[in-house]
Amino acid sequence: MKKINIYIGILATGLFFLPSCTQDYVEKNTDPNAITDVTADLLLPGIIRTSVNEMVNQSWGIGNIVIQHTAKIQFVSEDRYTWGDRDGLWQNMYNNLRNVQLLLDLSNKNNANNYKGVTLIMRAWMYSLLTDAYGDIPYSEATSGVSGILQPKYDTQEAVYTGILNDLKTANDLLGAGETVVGDLIYGGDVSKWKKLANSLRLRYLMRISDKKDVKAEMQAIISNTAATPIFTSNDDNGTMEYLTGAPNQFPMYTSRSGSFDEFRLSKNLGDKLTGFNDPRITAFAQPTDASVTAGKPVYSGVPNGLNEVAALAYNGGASNISRVGALYYKGSITERGLKVAKGYIMGYPELQFILAEASKKGMITSAKTTKDYYEEGVKAAFGFVDTTIPADYLTRTGIAYDEANALTLIGTQKWISLFFTGLEAWFDWRRTNIPVITPGLDNVNSNRVPVRFAYPRSEQTLNPASLANAVSRQGADNYNTKVWWDL
- Do the bridges between strand 137-138 and strand 154-155 make them parallel or antiparallel, or are there none, so unpaired? antiparallel
- The answer, yes or no, to whether residue 148 has pLDDT greater than 90, is no
Contact 125, 133 (CB under 8 A): no
- The answer, yes or no, to whether residue 23 has pLDDT greater than 70, is no
- The answer, yes or no, to whether residue 15 has pLDDT greater than 80, is no
153/143: higher pLDDT = 153
Which pLDDT score is estimated for 56?
A: 98
H or E element, residue 52 = helix 40-58
In a domain, 262, yes or no: no
56-67 pLDDT, tens per residue? 999 999 999 999
In a domain, 114, yes or no: yes
Q: Can you tell me the mean pLDDT for 358-363?
A: 98
In a domain, 279, yes or no: no
Positive or negative, the CA dihedral 373, 375, 378, 383 is negative
Burial category of 468 from C-beta neighbours within 10 Å (exposed 0-12, middle 13-18, buried 19 and up): buried
Nearest to 429 by CA among 367, 370, 345, 312: 345
In a domain, 13, yes or no: no
Total count of residues recorded for the chain? 488
Which pLDDT score is estimated for 22?
A: 43
- The answer, yes or no, to whether residue 19 has pLDDT greater than 50, is no
Which one of 26-40, 134-148, 283-297 scores highest in mean pLDDT? 283-297
In a domain, 193, yes or no: yes
CA distance 219 to 205: 10
Which pLDDT score is estimated for 14?
A: 40
Which pLDDT score is estimated for 169?
A: 98
Which pLDDT score is estimated for 7?
A: 30
- The answer, yes or no, to whether residue 25 has pLDDT greater than 80, is no
Which pLDDT band holds residue 24 (cuts at 50, 70, 90)? Answer: low
Domain range for 177: 40-252+337-475
Domain count, the chain: 1
Q: What torsion, rounded to 10 degrees, do the Cα atoms 479, 355, 221, 486 define?
A: -10
Name 390's Cβ contacts closer than 8 Å, sequence gap at least 6.
379, 380, 383, 384
- The answer, yes or no, to whether residue 444 has pLDDT greater than 90, is yes
SS3 264: strand
Name 270's Cβ contacts closer than 8 Å, sequence gap at least 6.
68, 69, 70, 285, 302, 417, 420
- The answer, yes or no, to whether residue 215 has pLDDT greater than 50, is yes
- The answer, yes or no, to whether residue 475 has pLDDT greater than 50, is yes
In a domain, 18, yes or no: no
169-196 pLDDT, tens per residue? 999 999 999 899 999 999 999 999 999 9
23/105: higher pLDDT = 105
CATH number of the domain that residue 390 is part of: 1.25.40.390
Positive or negative, the CA dihedral 355, 360, 363, 368 is positive
Which pLDDT band holds residue 18 (cuts at 50, 70, 90)? Answer: very low
Which pLDDT band holds residue 146 (cuts at 50, 70, 90)? Answer: confident
- The answer, yes or no, to whether residue 207 has pLDDT greater than 50, is yes
Strand partners, 155: 137
State what percent of residues in the chain have pLDDT above 70.
92
Burial category of 22 from C-beta neighbours within 10 Å (exposed 0-12, middle 13-18, buried 19 and up): exposed
Nearest to 331 by CA among 421, 257, 249: 257
In a domain, 342, yes or no: yes
Which pLDDT score is estimated for 276?
A: 98
Contact 240, 345 (CB under 8 A): yes
In a domain, 259, yes or no: no
383-417 pLDDT, tens per residue? 999 999 999 999 999 999 999 999 999 999 999 99
Lowest average pLDDT, out of 12-21, 162-171, 372-381, 459-468, goes to: 12-21
Lowest average pLDDT, out of 138-147, 172-181, 192-201, 376-385, goes to: 138-147
H or E element, residue 483 = none
315-330 pLDDT, tens per residue? 999 999 999 999 999 9
